[in-house]
Copies of this chain bind each other. A is one copy, B any other.
Amino acid sequence: MNHQIIKFTPTEEQLCWTFGGREPVMEVEPGTILEVFTEDCFAGKVRSETDLVSEVCEFPSLNPQTGPFYIRGAEPGDTVVAHFIEIEPARDWAVSTTVPLFGALTSTHLTATLQDPLPEIVWIWELDRKTRQCRFRSNVGEFSVELPMDPMHGTVGVAPANLEVRSALVPDAHGGNMDTPELRAGVTCYLGVNVEGALFSLGDGHARQGEGESCGVAVECAMNTVLYLDLIKGTSTPWPKLESDKYLMTTGSARPLEDAFRIAQVEMVDWVASLCGIGRMDSYQLVSQLVESPLANVCDTNYTSVAKVNRQYLGDISALYGGAHQHARRVAADYLSGR
């Protein structure tokens, strides 16, 4: 295989704050390998315990995306294939923080109460990229612990439908800020195309993240990421899907959280029915007993729920999306061995 490799690091001016509404940074052919740099969600401005988001950041300059990439030939009704070959922290530190009136365990601008906000506190996490560990230190009490790095992208998506432009902080049917730890290296993400060229972007690297992202902020870090970008013509994907060597995954992003759950589960029921050639009610039954349902985020404008099914129980599903994941895995292996 011979795939074009394009390296791209955005300048500060090129940082992109939305899905849609922005000129592409470049055009790429389907079947391209991208080596990109993504800034952290604070655009690198929070670097110590004294850099408060409320002081050093300003709306809408949050969650900068690298992109958008215009994919030649992509049209509404097609599906973008984004396989993550490698997601590597670009620095030896990462940052997390509380943000006033943001997060799952506080009132917010949408879940409005009359209470005082929680205090704004920054934690700097040390990343040991050799041992693949991130170190947490408490402010109150002497406690320190290393958690395994599990790098992921919180945000990946395309331009939305219906002429909309959405903030990079929002997850929805176009992808965006889904914040699922399942979006790690080795995973293929399928995104439905809404506009010509798809306008694919990504960002919001996390060295690791708990499911639900309770405090609203993960272990945020800049990333050097390699991904393989491809296109499937004539197949639509209403909500983003993920595929790994072990799992098929669907996502739903909505509020309340049960609606996000419902979307992901209905998507999975329909997917399994089609893959296994069984009735929709049969699939409802099978998925009900088989599915894993980890939460992604319960803090963003929409909440995101994931449905995961272990592919080994579904029979021969190699034709899924034309074998796009297996193909991408081979491209990835070639790339990694050729380095």
Contacts and interface: CB of A to CB of B under 8 A. Distances in A.
Interface in A233-254: 252, 254
A57 to B, nearest CB: 13
A210 B293 contact: yes
A27 interface: no
A244 to B, nearest CB: 17
A284 interface: yes
A297 to B, nearest CB: 10
Contacts of A114: 105-106, 118, 266, 269, 280-281, 284
A263 B138 CA distance: 23
A98 to B, nearest CB: 7
Contacts of A141: 276-279, 282
Contacts of A140: 278-279, 281-282
**Dominant SS at the A interface?**
loop
Given A60-B163, A262-B113, A210 B287 contact: yes
A145, A162, A214, A279, most chain B CB atoms within 10 A: A214
Interface string A45-65: 000000000000001100000
A163 B112 CA distance: 23
Contacts of A254: 110, 255
A332 B214 CA distance: 36
Contact of A163 (B21, B286, B298): B21
A301 to B, nearest CB: 10
Interface stretch (A67-75, A83-91, A164-172, A320-328): A164-172
A278 B123 CA distance: 14
A121 interface: yes
Contact of A115 (B106, B293, B298): B106
Q: Number of copies of this chain in the oligomer?
A: 4
Given A104-B265, A136-B289, A257-B258, A164 B282 contact: no
Contacts of A164: 18, 164-167
B119 A116 contact: no
Nearest to A305: B295
B115 A107 contact: yes
B211 A293 contact: yes
A208 B289 CA distance: 6
B211 A276 contact: no
A59 B161 contact: yes
Contacts of A208: 289
Contact of A263 (B110, B269, B305): B110
A292 interface: yes
A259 interface: yes
A253 to B, nearest CB: 9
B313 A266 contact: no
Given A105-B114, A119-B281, 5 more contacts: A107-B107, A138-B278, A140-B281, A143-B276, A210-B289
28 contacts: A17-B163, A21-B165, A104-B258, A104-B261, A104-B265, A105-B112, A105-B284, A106-B113, A114-B281, A121-B285, A134-B289, A138-B278, A138-B282, A141-B277, A141-B279, A141-B282, A145-B315, A147-B290, A147-B313, A162-B169, A212-B265, A212-B291, A214-B288, A214-B291, A215-B284, A216-B288, A257-B257, A261-B295
